[in-house]
A and B are shown apart, each in its own frame.
Chain A
């Protein structure tokens, strides 16, 4: 009989031989040639096993819950990047400017919600802001959970409705406050006695969007919220959004944060190669974005829809809407259980101090306030007093 081929012999060693090749086994028992080859194969297999067995396993026990949370963050980063045409949210977002830190802190966790919140709630000129606490359980079971799908719908619906009127340019590294002020077009304030380790000017941008009621309604429908009705007044209205140039200053050791802000390091991947340490302070200053819309549009009415979309009951949305002047207030959604916030004061202005709930991260603060039409966001590590003191010193 013919000798068994190598594949057969190897499968035989593993007990994985196809039963149809039974005859080969019979042959093996009495064939010295095959026996010899079998031994060679066995030696090879043993060497490989010996080698691979040496490679260490993962030290930590099974932590799929943590891994899932980390994965979700990574996925969100990716989505954010791929929501290209609809980057208004990012432009408008001070959070976008203050980057990773604030992204953790400001908890505008659900990307499409962010697009909504910032395009529809951040209306007109920001003179103040208010924090809106979102109950994550209200979002459960809601189609909002399916980010990818909503993102696609939103970008599809909006992509042909958006015209970029002013294209943002690459951020520009500047040497000092005077240059920054000149480039950004407003008086930049910095921490006295400290030299920023890096300072950037982000150019302004502008978009116009033509609202189409049916298409916006289709977003709500796809999100399973057909119960919410987009006001008829929005149909055909053109809304303009202009985000002025802003300044970003980094102090201390911020790792790759500054390079990432400057666009030198891709924003993909949740982790920075060089993480900022506790000395890192980042400061963003941005004059209020301006939103122009026709008179017929009632921002409060749109806000009510958006708030319900975020999981508020109709009654709560109605009463919250009444407490806010929608022509001058930026609403910062904060997800309960992910961040804590408290209302504080910086130089007499209302300010929100937000911290991640997560133990290791909770020493990090993000302080946000509006002073004289400029939105400030200060991020760092330390207690509340440190945060407020730093903020009050800006000049």
Chain B
């Protein structure tokens, strides 16, 4: 560990960034509780790393990088365990006005997106999440520790790959549904 945190400073950082960071993580993970747990882990890692991270004013970038990585890792681990495949939607926020069929469809789409995120290379997934969270190219470059001039290219590649996987996924899904309908029709 390098140096020590001043408790008040650490708390200020925690309070300033927690909301943003937990929201990014929650998009990736299915349960609020798991997102909060992973987020706490991220801050614990920051604590253990020491205040040198904050010294150059890049603590936000560090948190975003670590959080997106940790959440994708957790998503992949869940997928490996098959933890999320069952009852995927049961834990998603439910809108009472939503009919059961709409809800089911929405949950399927969510699962698809997460599947794609889990399949992408981690740094590509991170990049997409950071961009989607509204970070500027400069901020993304700091978070991912890459040259700011390469962000556009990397982003374009990640988006192309995401699109391809997503489309493939959707096609397969549609096929399965058609087969299902045909079977039921017989």
**Chain A residues packing against B (C-beta within 8 Å):** 5-11, 14, 16, 18, 41, 43-45, 47-49, 51-60, 62, 64, 67-68, 70-71, 74-75, 78, 145-149, 152, 269-271
Q: Which chain A residue lies CB-closest to B159?
A: A44
Chain B residues, CB < 8 A from A148? 4-5, 47
User: B22 and A58: CB pair below 8 A?
Assistant: yes
User: B132 and A64: CB pair below 8 A?
Assistant: no
Rounded to whole Å, the gap between the CB of B62 and the closest CB of chain A is 16
User: B93 and A14: CB pair below 8 A?
Assistant: no
Q: Which chain B residue lies CB-closest to A47?
A: B163
User: B27 and A57: CB pair below 8 A?
Assistant: yes
User: B113 and A52: CB pair below 8 A?
Assistant: yes
For chain B, the bracket of interface size reads: 35 or more
Known contacts A52-B132, A67-B40: does B156 contact A59 (CB below 8 Å)? no
User: A6 and B152: CB pair below 8 A?
Assistant: yes
Partner of A18, one of B28, B149, B166: B149
> B13-48 toward A: CB 8 Å interface, digit per residue (1/0)?
011001100110011100011011101110110011
Chain B residues, CB < 8 A from A52? 27, 113, 128-129, 132
Chain A residues, CB < 8 A from B23? 57-58
Rounded to whole Å, the gap between the CB of A301 and the closest CB of chain B is 31
Chain B residues, CB < 8 A from A75? 44, 47
Known contacts A10-B153, A64-B14, A67-B22: does B114 contact A55 (CB below 8 Å)? yes
Chain A residues, CB < 8 A from B19? 62, 64
Known contacts A54-B110, A146-B4: does B162 contact A44 (CB below 8 Å)? yes
Which 3 A-B residue pairings sit nearest by Cβ, starting from the closest?
A7-B153, A7-B152, A11-B152
- The B118-165 residues at the A interface (CB cut-off 8 A) are 128-129, 132, 136-137, 149-160, 162-163
**Chain B residues packing against A (C-beta within 8 Å):** 4-7, 11, 14-15, 18-19, 22-23, 26-28, 32-33, 35-37, 39-41, 43-44, 47-48, 92-93, 106, 109-110, 112-114, 116, 128-129, 132, 136-137, 149-160, 162-163, 166-167
Rounded to whole Å, the gap between the CB of A61 and the closest CB of chain B is 9
Q: Which chain B residue lies CB-closest to A14?
A: B137
User: A44 and B40: CB pair below 8 A?
Assistant: no
Chain A residues, CB < 8 A from B4? 146, 148-149, 152
Give A9 to B156 CA distance when docked, in angstroms.
9
Partner of B136, one of A16, A18, A44, A53: A16
Rounded to whole Å, the gap between the CB of B170 and the closest CB of chain A is 10
Known contacts A11-B152, A70-B36, A148-B5: does B27 contact A16 (CB below 8 Å)? no
Partner of A7, one of B11, B116, B149: B149
User: A64 and B15: CB pair below 8 A?
Assistant: yes
User: A44 and B47: CB pair below 8 A?
Assistant: no
Chain A residues, CB < 8 A from B106? 54
Partner of B152, one of A16, A47, A149: A16
